[in-house]
A and B are shown apart, each in its own frame.
Chain A
Amino acid sequence: MELQAVLMAAGGGSRMTDLIYNTPKPLLPVGNKPLMWYPLNLLERVGFEEVIVITTKEVQKMMSSDPKMKLDVKMKLDVVCIQEDGDMGTADALRHIQQKIKSDVLVVSCDLITDVALHEVVDLFRAHNATLAMLMSKAHEFTETVPGQKGKKKTAEQRDFVGVDPSGKRLLFMANEADLEDGLSIRKSIIKKHPRMHIKTGLVDAHLYCLKKEVVDFLAENKSISSIRGELVPYLVRKQFSKTANRQKMKDESEDQTQKKNDDSTNQELLIASRDESLLQLAQERSCWNDHHGDMSEAYHGGKLRCYVHILDQGLCYRVNTLAAYIEANRLAPKLFEEPAVHPSAVISEKCQMGSDSMIGALCQIADKTSIKRSTIGNSTTVKEKVKVTNSIVMHGVTIEEG
């Protein structure tokens, strides 16, 4: 098997506490579908047949009772429950399911709504035999105003600095502004190998990672890493250029590869050892290809650890973890699918005015003289007469009285 998909659905939704009050984040309705449905749909469309879902017991219970999940998702969902109160980061969750991981993993977060062609990310992973391949997207300005917020809040402290090489594919540098105290410092070894680097700040991390199996094994050994995004990815990016990694590559070929696990140095564990390493080396030697020009080193500078990123220019990519993102997603998510805006089972009376931007869920009852503009009405809601609903998201099972 080539890739195993893991969906992280145990997140707390710390940046949208108002919405999380009743329903847990993975089951928040976006366009009348639970939030979790979008990444699952993406995986299903691409051809995955099973997904490991890491979530809490509460979500699991709600999932089994949700008809949408049962009907639309045809893949086999292997649900793994973790403690809700525990401070489990995403990397801790991966460590938890290490026994189930038998091949390379594709980690997706439950709050990702995107229409990216997944093969672009996975192709980088396959073609360059990369350790990590991730997806990032150019951030779009949110056009909707968020109720309760005056003006647009600048999230200046949350900026990510991402350094890529001129082709835009190889990931050279990644740091969050919060981790940088004095300023941006880049190692000389990186500059020597890649004299041209583009540093971008306006990118949104889609939290979609392709990781090699050896990384999961490495996580099992190193219990100090608890978050993929915050710790593992910057660590891997840094380790691409670590001196010991390159030097030990030479020793590794003469040493017995079974000694890997016993070695203290963490670099050894990350080095990918496949059988017939010598054949792959031979093929690379004989091949007249190099990924960079202008210096005397071989392809990839002889480095075994490589991180790649695919930056999405056009297309939809949202992470629904703030209120503004949630509202934006509700507007645009229905456009991803060709489902009719009005669910066939909804009962709408004739005198109702409905804008084209709105979505009506199943089993709704909309009475006379109502006007619904740019809103999403959830399932099983009743809207009585003379109601104007504008720019809102109405959840499931709500009754709006007259007036």
Chain B
Amino acid sequence: MQRSERRICTKKGRKHASICLSASSNLLVKFHHSVKTGLPLWLLGFGMDRLRTDMNRLLALLFHQGVLDEQFLQLQQLQDETSPNFVSEVVTIYFRESEKLLRNLRELLSDREFSDYRRMGIHLNQFMGSSSSIGAKRVRNVCAAFRAASEQNNRLGCFHALELLEHEYCYLKNKLHEFFQVEQQRVMAAGVRYPIQN
């Protein structure tokens, strides 16, 4: 752990490592545990409560980081028996739309003769709207910055903003995938009984 701390001298490394280190320090021991047995944790009998805690912890982390905001909670509240996978469905649609938009943005910027900042602004507005729908706060903020750069016709600024946007989006996507997988586990674990209990 020490070496990794030392190596995180760059801006990007620092940004992520600082977030990750704080949460991971007490979890390394547990990592060892699962790794030694080679069994997935939920089969080790850690149970549903643990999984729920995991989910909550992940969510808390994302809230703390500002990746998600309360709109995500609104989505969760909308989920009920009639639509048990509501949040995951909405997020899937969001990913699909966002990838389209990101592709468009990248193509626009890749064009050497690019000058249609207004169209870029339109895409960005759409992206902002979508991101606000699931509560993707950081993505939305980067979109706003991106839009500001495009309003100033600042091509370089747009490039940087796009990089950052893609980065934020991927991070969000990762985390949400994790979240849904834990949720899936929880649903599965709810129907399974383990002989080994902790």
Do A and B come from the same complex?
A: no
- Which A positions have Cβ atoms within 8 angstroms of B? none
* Interfacial residues, chain B to chain A (CB-CB below 8 A): none
